[in-house]
Structure 1
Amino acid sequence: MKTGIKIDSQEQKENVKNTRKTLKVLQQAATNKENLAGRILGDKEKTSFVRHKILEDKAVQTGESTITAEDLTSEEPSPDYWKRLAEKREQLLNESFEENERLRQAVEALQEENKICKDMLDESRHLVEVLQEMLCDGDADTTEVAEEATEETN
């Protein structure tokens, strides 16, 4: 009899482990209307505070000088002006080169398609000629048959 009680208690422990949670646990999550199923694990999780470094901007030498009032009022443009102008023109040239390359590829594709269409046109013209010859021969054959039929009846 003692062993029967132990088995019952072990079964009860397993049942307690495997049973579903009651609605009391799920009611906490009911505040979120989109995600009603599940439970909130925020109570058990430890929140860790991350300390962010405060970064300060420091002067870094980039090689580019700032535009001054003297640069704007002087007769000759500064060397930096020519550098920036060259960079802009280089960028524009690269863009136009890429566009020209795309257009060249499109032209090649269209020329190939045009060649295929011309070949198909030639083949269809040849087919029309053959069909016209067959129709003419068929008309001649039918007229010959009709003439023979009229001669036999006379």
Structure 2
Amino acid sequence: MDHSMWIEVERSRKRMHEILDQKFDNFILHTACGDLAEYLDKDTYAKPLLAPARMFKGAKPTAVILPEKGKVVAATWQRVVLTILLDCDSDPVKHERLMTLRSRVAGDFRWLLSDKSKGLRAPLRINEGLYFEGKFDTEALLRNLTKKILEPVGYDYSGIAVLLRNV
């Protein structure tokens, strides 16, 4: 095999991996969140919130798709997180659980949930007396949201998808 043929085989291998990855991504998204075709266009794609937080790094959000409420515009990661927390807090049982977690769940240097905005670097107001620390990079923000807040309060985020901008 000469060099040019080897390069072509490697290009083909790379393209086949990309196609296979895209097929699996679509399968996972459809299985977790259902048919999202009505929300997608040539400029956007979706990822389920169930995906590992690292997979969202570098992506630019445009909206959150909530199972009961549909599409909610959210152009920043902080807005994505706040939208999900507001949905979680709208359930009275989850609200009480969130209130119980205030000043009990730590981030790296501060509480993730607090009863006041003072002391938080980027407070996201969920309601009066409930604030979330939003000063994290994308991966840490989503990991803190899902693993340290949503899972402990029993909020099912398996059907949530984030719409992302094609770059």
TM-score category, normalised to shorter length? under 0.3
TM-score (norm 1): 0.21
Structure of greater relative contact order (alpha carbons < 8 Å, 6+ residues apart): 2
- Structure with greater strand share of residues: 2
- Higher Rg of the two aligned structures: 1
User: Would you tell me which structure has more helix in proportion to its own residues?
Assistant: 1
